[in-house]
């Protein structure tokens, strides 16, 4: 077996996660991303369950998909009925999806107590539902729901349900661990049992993550050699604890087992896809996901960083570029000089060991006061830049004042005055805002804008506050994280201390100075590019 089919069910099973609701446009956008990645199947939804899924299937037909086939999902016909008269079956057919995935009951527990049918009736509705859709020219995939639980309860009957789907003409039988309770060794043994009982049948695996082994169960099934079809979701989204995470399964299969899942080179798109799907789903990307998380190749311990500076493979199991990710070095109180030298190189700065040691000692001292620099790399960059012997600050803060008043007829009014020194000139400005930080930010911008027009492109994007020692009440230390952005990117800075205004001011000053540095560096790059283009034109 050299190839494994990837069947993505993010748009159906993934949306059953608490907190996810995708619009039709969201689902179409994710469909394009999945097709560009090169998955074999995209399960678009359950046409009979809601109008939104029905609308998706009407619109997805207009997409020019290059790799994936779209699948409609639904159940067998109802007990006591026939597929040609079953509304759910008809809506799957009317979706015009080239693939129909039919789910049926495997466990006698569900047959007798959930759908209230006899074992024989359940076999009939499986067989007739598959046969009806197959006769209409659709590819039929059969999902054997609760297969592993059902097999443990009554192995002979579980196999009979698979034979019923085969008799109806199903191209593939997918063994589902719907409750997520199976263990990898059980999965491996039961897959072998099925392959022995039904030789030559194409098998797939659909695992849930309730025991935190959905990825392991999927790999165990594939390693038997009898399963070449894997189902899962991007980022492991799904009901309860989620589904098998394709963002781990795909690289595991390609990089660890040497099996092809995607077109050549497509694996490099995986990290971008993971983060984009998270954004579309309005969820924060999980930085700690294997392979694709922002922290998957982040190094913090000084001993680790010292090693990767000599050989990147010393603390990395794969090259992060293979999945579209990148190695990062974090700076904290656990850092060594290697961390600092690596960050300096990342920022394009020349720093010797003594300079690195000095900045590191400053970071350790500040972190003991409540600062955390892991999520505020722009503050680290400014500490390093200020440590350079030839660095000239863009401005020098002199003092500031913030007044918050309750005024009759106007409510709460906040005003800030800021005094800064720019190129030897002292600027004294004031501004009002919807809060003290907003007022300080606006006053500082007003002071700097006449000297630095690029300030107009800089916006405060996010502001987070965390109380570090709540037992101290209003005297607690406060940590402030500020996100700022312009046309060149987004960056984070930090401030901390018992006074929330002072902590915020420190983060604002760092954010503005870093933004000016960033705009200056980008402008310098643009000038170099322009000069190069002009020289090329002269040469031509």
Taking only the tens place, the pLDDT of each residue in 140-179 is 999 999 999 999 999 999 999 999 999 999 999 999 999 9
Q: Among 236, 263, 290, which residue terminates a domain? A: 263
Q: Measured between alpha carbons, how far is 391 from 71 in angstroms, rounded to an integer?
A: 60
Other beta carbons less than 10 A from residue 444's beta carbon: 25
Q: What is the DSSP string of 210-279?
A: TTS-HHHHHHHHHHTTSEEEEEEBGGG--STT-B-BHHHHHHIIIIIS--B-SSTTGGGGHHHHHHHHHH
Is-above-0.85 flag for pTM? Answer: no
**pLDDT score of 535:** 40
**Residues 180 and 123 occupy one common structural domain:** yes
Q: Among 385, 407, 435, which residue terminates a domain? A: 385
**Residues 253 and 310 occupy one common structural domain:** no
**Residues 439 and 326 occupy one common structural domain:** no
* Average pLDDT of the segment spanning 35-63: 93
Taking only the tens place, the pLDDT of each residue in 256-282 is 999 999 999 999 999 999 988 998 898
- 525 — pLDDT class (breaks 50, 70, 90): very low
Q: Residue 538: is its pLDDT beyond 50?
A: no
* Average pLDDT of the segment spanning 124-137: 98
Q: Residue 377: is its pLDDT beyond 60?
A: yes
Is residue 352 within 8 A of residue 340, CB to CB? The reply is no
The answer to whether residue 215 is domain-embedded is yes
Q: Name the β-bridge partners of 399.
A: 419
The whole-chain average pLDDT of the chain stands at: 88
**pLDDT score of 389:** 83
**Residues 212 and 80 occupy one common structural domain:** yes
Query: For residue 406, what is the domain's CATH number?
Result: 3.30.160.270
**Residues 424 and 356 occupy one common structural domain:** no
Ramachandran assignment for 202, one of left (phi > 0), alpha (psi -120 to 50 degrees), beta (any other): beta
Taking only the tens place, the pLDDT of each residue in 303-360 is 666 676 667 777 789 999 999 988 776 665 555 656 667 767 777 777 777 777 787 7
**pLDDT score of 335:** 56
Taking only the tens place, the pLDDT of each residue in 186-213 is 999 999 999 999 999 999 999 999 999 9
The answer to whether residue 292 is domain-embedded is no
Query: For residue 131, what is the domain's CATH number?
Result: 3.20.20.70
Other beta carbons less than 10 A from residue 114's beta carbon: 11
Percent of the chain with pLDDT over 70: 90
The answer to whether residue 277 is domain-embedded is no
* Average pLDDT of the segment spanning 488-515: 87
Taking only the tens place, the pLDDT of each residue in 457-468 is 888 888 888 776
**Residues 252 and 306 occupy one common structural domain:** no
Q: Residue 410: is its pLDDT beyond 70?
A: yes
**pLDDT score of 527:** 41
The answer to whether residue 181 is domain-embedded is yes
**Residues 56 and 80 occupy one common structural domain:** yes
**pLDDT score of 309:** 67
Higher pLDDT, 242 or 378: 242
* Average pLDDT of the segment spanning 236-254: 97
Q: Measured between alpha carbons, how far is 343 from 379 in angstroms, rounded to an integer?
A: 12
- 497 — pLDDT class (breaks 50, 70, 90): confident
* Average pLDDT of the segment spanning 120-125: 98
Residue 86 tokens, joined:
């079953």
Of 489, 407, 17, nearest to 208 by C-alpha is: 17
**Residues 78 and 154 occupy one common structural domain:** yes
The answer to whether residue 268 is domain-embedded is no
**pLDDT score of 522:** 63
Taking only the tens place, the pLDDT of each residue in 5-17 is 999 999 999 999 9
**Residues 380 and 400 occupy one common structural domain:** no
- Give the range of the structural domain holding residue 422, as residue numbers without chain letter: 396-527
Of 122, 143, 142, nearest to 134 by C-alpha is: 142
Q: Residue 78: is its pLDDT beyond 60?
A: yes
The answer to whether residue 136 is domain-embedded is yes
Taking only the tens place, the pLDDT of each residue in 383-401 is 888 888 888 889 999 999 9
Q: Among 216, 248, 263, which residue terminates a domain? A: 263
Q: Residue 28: is its pLDDT beyond 60?
A: yes
Instruction: Name 67's Cβ contacts closer than 8 Å, sequence gap at least 6.
Output: 35, 36, 37, 38, 39, 40, 263
**Residues 370 and 400 occupy one common structural domain:** no
**Residues 207 and 81 occupy one common structural domain:** yes
Residue 113 tokens, joined:
């107590």
* Ordered strands of the 478-486 beta sheet: 459-467, 478-486, 489-497
- Measured in whole angstroms, the distance separating CA 111 from the mean position of its chain's CA atoms is 38
Q: Which residue has the tokens 């037909």?
A: 61
Q: Residue 526: is its pLDDT beyond 60?
A: no
57-96 in b/e form (b: 16+ CB < 10 A) is: beebeeeeeebbebbbbbbbbbeebebeebebbbbbbebe
- Overall domain count for the chain: 3
The answer to whether residue 532 is domain-embedded is no
Percent of the chain with pLDDT over 90: 60
Higher pLDDT, 189 or 491: 189
The answer to whether residue 212 is domain-embedded is yes
**Residues 376 and 467 occupy one common structural domain:** no
Q: Measured between alpha carbons, how far is 95 from 72 in angstroms, rounded to an integer?
A: 7
| Beta-strand pair 69-75/139-145 | unpaired
Lowest mean pLDDT among 50-64, 268-282, 333-347, 411-425: 333-347
């Amino acid at each position: 077996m050299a190839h494994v089919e990837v069947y993505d069910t993010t748009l159906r099973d993934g949306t059953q996660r608490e907190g996810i609701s995708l619009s039709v446009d969201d689902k179409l956008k994710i469909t394009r991303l999945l097709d560009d990645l090169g998955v074999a199947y995209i399960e678009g939804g359950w046409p009979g369950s809601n109008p939104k899924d029905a609308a998706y299937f009407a619109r997805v037909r207009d997409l020019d998909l290059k790799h994936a086939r779209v699948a409609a999902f639904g159940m067998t016909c109802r007990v006591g009925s026939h597929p040609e008269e079953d509304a759910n079956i008809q809506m799957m057919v009317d979706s015009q999806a080239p693939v129909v995935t039919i789910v049926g009951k495997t466990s006698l527990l569900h047959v007798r107590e959930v759908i209230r049918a006899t074992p024989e009736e359940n076999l009939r509705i499986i067989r007739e539902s598959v046969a009806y859709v197959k006769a209409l020219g659709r590819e039929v995939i059969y999902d054997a729901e609760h297969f592993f639980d059902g097999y443990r309860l009554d192995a002979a009957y579980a196999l009979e349900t698979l034979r019923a789907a085969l008799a109806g003409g199903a191209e593939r039988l997918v063994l589902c661990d719907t409750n997520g309770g199976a263990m990898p060794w059980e999965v491996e043994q039961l897959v072998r049992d099925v392959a022995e009982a039904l030789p030559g049948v194409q098998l797939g695996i659909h695992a849930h993550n309730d025991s935190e082994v959905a990825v392991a169960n999927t790999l165990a099934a594939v390693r038997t050699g009898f399963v070449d079809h894997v189902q899962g979701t991007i980022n492991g989204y799904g009901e309860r604890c989620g589904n098998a995470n394709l963002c781990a399964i795909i690289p595991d299969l390609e990089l660890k087992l040497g099996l092809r899942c995607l077109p050549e080179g497509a694996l490099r798109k995986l990290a971008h896809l993971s983060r984009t799907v998270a954004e579309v789903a309005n969820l924060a990307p999980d930085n700690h996901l294997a392979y694709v998380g922002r922290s998957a190749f982040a190094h913090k311990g000084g001993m680790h960083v010292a090693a990767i500076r000599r050989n990147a493979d010393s603390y990395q199991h794969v090259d992060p570029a293979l999945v579209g990710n990148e190695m990062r070095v974090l700076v904290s109180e656990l850092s060594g000089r290697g961390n600092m030298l690596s960050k300096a190189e990342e920022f394009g700065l020349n720093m010797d060991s003594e300079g690195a040691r000095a900045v590191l000692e400053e970071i350790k001292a500040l972190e003991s006061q409540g600062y955390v620099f892991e999520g505020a790399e722009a503050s680290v960059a400014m500490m390093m830049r200020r440590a350079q012997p030839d660095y000239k600050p863009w401005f020098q803060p002199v003092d500031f004042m913030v007044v918050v008043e309750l005024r009759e007829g106007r409510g709460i009014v906040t005003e800030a005055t800021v005094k800064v020194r720019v190129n030897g000139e002292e600027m004294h400005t004031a501004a009002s805002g919807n809060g003290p930080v907003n007022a300080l930010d606006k006053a500082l911008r007003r002071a700097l804008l006449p000297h630095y027009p690029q300030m107009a492109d800089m916006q405060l994007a996010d502001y987070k506050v965390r109380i570090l020692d709540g037992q101290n009440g209003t005297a607690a230390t406060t940590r402030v994280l500020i996100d700022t952005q312009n046309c060149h990117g987004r960056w984070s800075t930090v401030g901390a201390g018992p006074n929330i205004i002072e902590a915020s001011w420190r983060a604002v000053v760092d954010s503005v100075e870093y933004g000016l540095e960033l705009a200056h560096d980008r402008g310098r790059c643009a000038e170099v590019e322009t000069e190069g283009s002009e020289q090329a034109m002269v040469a031509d």
